[in-house]
Structure 1
Amino acid sequence: MIQALENGNYYHIYNRGINSDILFKEKTNYEHFLNLYDIHINPIAYTYAWCLMKNHFHFIVRIKEIEEIHVEKKILPSQSFSNLFNAYTKAFNKSYNRHGALFERPFRRKQVNFDNYLQNVISYIHNNPVHHKICEHPIQYPWSSYISCLSDKPTKLQRIKVIAIFNDIDNFKLAHEQKSNYFSVENFLGI
């Protein structure tokens, strides 16, 4: 049974291309997906971490309380994610002259219930490119929220709250330097 996204709860949202196919072929694909994310997800959720990989993605979000959602037409949070994936699929299919599904369905979601685990999942998400041997450190990968967490530039990411989860910026950096036990995180997530 598919878990509903409930207001006020934290979730790790993740998915991959159907048959592990490529989701992002070029820079404009990543940019367009993030623009669509801004349109469809920012109105209904706060984002704590994200990473877009060539054939999959990860997000940590907290679904906003009903009174925090300021949109004319109230829709279920899971519908907002479906709208994002459908809009991106249509654009991707048009750009690459393809048809059919792009993402596995249903998208995966795992509720995150406690702070210590939230730290681990944020580190796991930011270190995903390191884990997949794309780079040696998360600061080298442009398609994640790691750099936004260290920056002072304006962002919709919940940067101050993310750093507070780690107590301070030094602990945030330290947690990302340590070799995480990816097996336990992936086992918990069922990846």
Structure 2
Amino acid sequence: MERFFHPSQNMFADTFESEKCYHIFNHAVHGNLLFIQETNYHYFLQQLTKHTQFVCDLYAYCLMPNHFHLLARIKNQEALIEYYHTRKQAKDPQYNPDNFDKTTFDTHKFVMQQFQNFCNGYAQAFNRFFNRKGVLFMDNLKRKVVKNEVYFTKLIHYIHYNPVHHGFCKDLNDWRFTSYHSFLDNRTTPLAREYVLNWFGSPQEYSRFHQSKPDSRLANLMEV
């Protein structure tokens, strides 16, 4: 399997870089909730897929009432630039990609814009539905570089275990708004399911790994 880690890099990331893996998370402001009704969770995932599927591969997620966690790898530079051209041509049929200078392409700015579009779109819909005004998310989308293979494996477990950690359920099987279940059935999913299952070796090994509690040392690093 392809590996994509850079052990020497700083865990705390200021920018998104192509072909690197990140733990991405954010929190509602001022004790507010991000999700009130079940339909909010589903809409959030729909919008996440709509805005980010062409800039990153999604390996895991967990949606909690007032925050969310994602594990994603930014796509390679060629894929990002191709999507950039697609978006430009959709807005301007006269746009000519032959005039594009790839040395000026800002990976972080382009990727961040897709996540901002996603968060802003969800917040606007949420505010309209609940007759609410003002910001919904904290100012900055938080992100941390996944520094090695062990960390990647433990982080998938930690993200799925988050509802148990916060006391919303006693068993991770009982929280429906994580990606845990998506790796154990054949329903359509935006997740890189085959990659994750191959990473663990099999669905059985994936399930077995989740039967233990996650590494407690991750809690201090991951809390939002």
TM (norm. structure 2) is 0.79
Residue in structure 1 matched with residue 154 of structure 2 by the alignment: 120
Aligned counterpart in structure 2 of residue 20 of structure 1, from 28, 31, 34: 31
1:9 aligns with 2:42: no
In the alignment, structure 1 residue 187 sits paired with structure 2 residue 201: no
Q: TM-score, normalised by structure 1?
A: 0.92
Please name the residue that 2:99 is paired with: none
Judge which range, 12-21 or 50-59, deviates more.
12-21
Query: Which structure 2 segments of 5+ residues have no match?
Result: 1-11, 89-108
Q: Give me the whole-angstrom Cα distance separating, in 2, the residues matched to 1:130 and 1:188.
A: 17
Tell me if the contact between 1:130 and 1:138 (Cα under 8 Å) persists in the aligned partners: yes
- CA deviation map 1:83-129 (0-9, x unaligned): 11100111111111111110011011001021110011100000111
Q: 2:188 matched to which residue of 1? A: 154
- Identical aligned residues as a percent: 35
Relative contact order, CA 8 A, sep 6+: which one is greater?
A: 2
How far 1:156 sits from its partner (Å)?
2.0
Partner letter of residue 196 of structure 2? V
1:9 and 1:62 in contact (8 A); partners too: yes
Q: Is this contact kept in 2: 1:20–1:56, CA < 8 A?
A: no
**Residue of structure 2 in register with 1:81 after alignment:** 115
Instruction: Give the corresponding residue for 1:142.
Output: 176
Q: Whole-Å Cα distance in 2 between the matches of residues 14 and 148 of structure 1?
A: 20
User: Which residue is equivalent to 2:60?
Assistant: 49
- Secondary structure in structure 2 of the residue aligned to 1:76: helix
- State the Cα deviation string for residues 43-73 of structure 1 (Å, max 9, x = none): 1111000011100000000011122244313
The residue that corresponds to 1:131 in the other structure is 165
1:145: Cα distance to partner? 0.5
Q: Secondary structure at the match of 1:18?
A: coil
- Report the count of equivalent residues: 190
Which range moved further: 153-162 or 74-83?
A: 74-83
| Distance in 1 between residues matched to 2:183 and 2:171, nearest whole Å | 14
Paired with 1:148 and 1:181, the residues of 2 have a C-alpha distance of 22
**Which letter does structure 1 place at the counterpart of 2:206?**
F
Q: Say what the alpha-carbon RMSD is for the aligned residues.
A: 1.7
| Structure 2: distance between partners of 1:144 and 1:168 | 19
Gaps of 5+ in 1: none
Structure 1 residues 179 and 43: CA distance shift in structure 2, 3 A = same
Asked whether the equivalents of residues 13 and 144 of structure 2 are also in contact (C-alpha less than 8 Å), the reply is no
Asked if 1:30 corresponds to 2:37, the answer is no
Distance 2:221 2:56 in 1: 23
